[in-house]
Amino acid sequence: MYQGLKRMYWWVGMKKEVDQYVAACLICQKAKIDHQKLAGMLQPLNIPKWKRDSIVMDFVVRLPRTPKGHDSVWVIIDRLTKPVHFLPINIK
């Protein structure tokens, strides 16, 4: 944080004040690298051999309601060829 601020601002005692702020900030403490789990070795994803062999789906919810009453979108993606389908739906 200090390095980012130092590029644009400077004042007497700046480093000490930034250290004190970060030490008291709960969000800053949670973001420290020593509090995060190690991810381990990266594992490659399997490459599908055929279309529609592997698809992923997700929902985008809490959108403003359309004139037809839809408030969400169902997203479907084929991992091999990457076509994307967006289907409007209602979630109540």
Domain layout of the chain by residue ranges: 2-35, 55-89
Query: pLDDT tens across 47-57, in order?
Result: 888 888 889 99
Q: Rounded to whole angstroms, how far apart are CA atoms 24 and 21?
A: 5
Contact criterion met (CB below 8 Å) for 69 and 61: no
pTM score: 0.51
Query: pLDDT tens across 10-35, in order?
Result: 889 999 998 888 888 888 777 766 66
Rounded to the nearest integer, the mean pLDDT of the chain is 87
Q: What angle do CA 50, 55, 56 make, to 5 degrees?
A: 160
Query: pLDDT tens across 53-88, in order?
Result: 889 999 999 999 999 999 999 999 998 998 999 999
